[in-house]
């Protein structure tokens, strides 16, 4: 059975992003390209992400989304050019409108929130916490549309 949530995220996308100033780097605007494909019967989504600032590559990421046995449970494995390598998958949940994950590492926590819109686009919000989830700092907000 194909995960409808992962199926909605499959395809080629372009994104417009607002990056917050963080301990990882300066803020600003970015453009991105996202290529996502379903594998293994439609319950795994492989995603390759490329971000550019001022026409130059700034971040690349490879993500693996896995649909769990329960219809609303998911896992995320995230690798990026900043050197993040997961020690375990980030648990996630689908609430009917948003797919949310919480990644934890020695560097803190990062929350990924994928909100699907009726027009077929989606929004991604990233937030980080360095105090166990008490306070959250914005990292990125992006809107992604399918390439025509």
What pLDDT is recorded for position 1?
61
- Give residue-wise pLDDT tens across range 13-22: 999 999 999 8
- Give residue-wise pLDDT tens across range 58-70: 999 999 999 988 7
Average predicted confidence (pLDDT) for the chain: 93
The stretch 15-32 carries a mean pLDDT of: 92
- Give residue-wise pLDDT tens across range 110-122: 999 999 999 999 9
Backbone φ, ψ for residue 130 (5° rounding): -120, 10
What pLDDT is recorded for position 13?
98
Four-CA torsion 81, 16, 26, 57, nearest 10 degrees: 40
* pTM assigned to the model: 0.93
pLDDT of 75 over the 70 cut: yes
Any idea where the domains of the chain sit in the sequence?
Answer: 4-146
Burial classification of residue 110, based on how many CB atoms lie within 10 Å of its CB (0-12 exposed, 13-18 middle, 19 or more buried):
buried
pLDDT of 83 over the 90 cut: no
Assigned CATH for 4-146:
2.40.128.20
């Amino acid at each position: 059975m194909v995960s409808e949530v992962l199926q909605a995220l499959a395809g080629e996308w372009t994104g417009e992003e607002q990056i917050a100033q963080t301990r990882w780097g300066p803020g600003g605007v970015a453009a991105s390209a996202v290529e996502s494909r379903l594998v293994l019967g439609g319950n795994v989504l492989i995603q390759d992400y490329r971000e550019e600032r001022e026409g130059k590559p700034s971040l690349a990421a490879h993500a693996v989304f896995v649909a769990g046995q329960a219809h609303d449970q998911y896992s995320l494995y995230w690798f990026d050019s900043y050197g993040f390598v997961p020690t375990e998958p980030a648990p996630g949940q689908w609430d009917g409108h948003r797919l949310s994950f919480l990644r934890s590492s020695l560097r803190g926590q990062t929350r990924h929130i994928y909100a699907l819109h009726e027009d077929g686009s989606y929004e991604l919000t990233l937030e980080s916490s360095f105090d166990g989830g008490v306070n959250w700092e914005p990292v990125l907000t992006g809107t992604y549309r399918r390439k025509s």
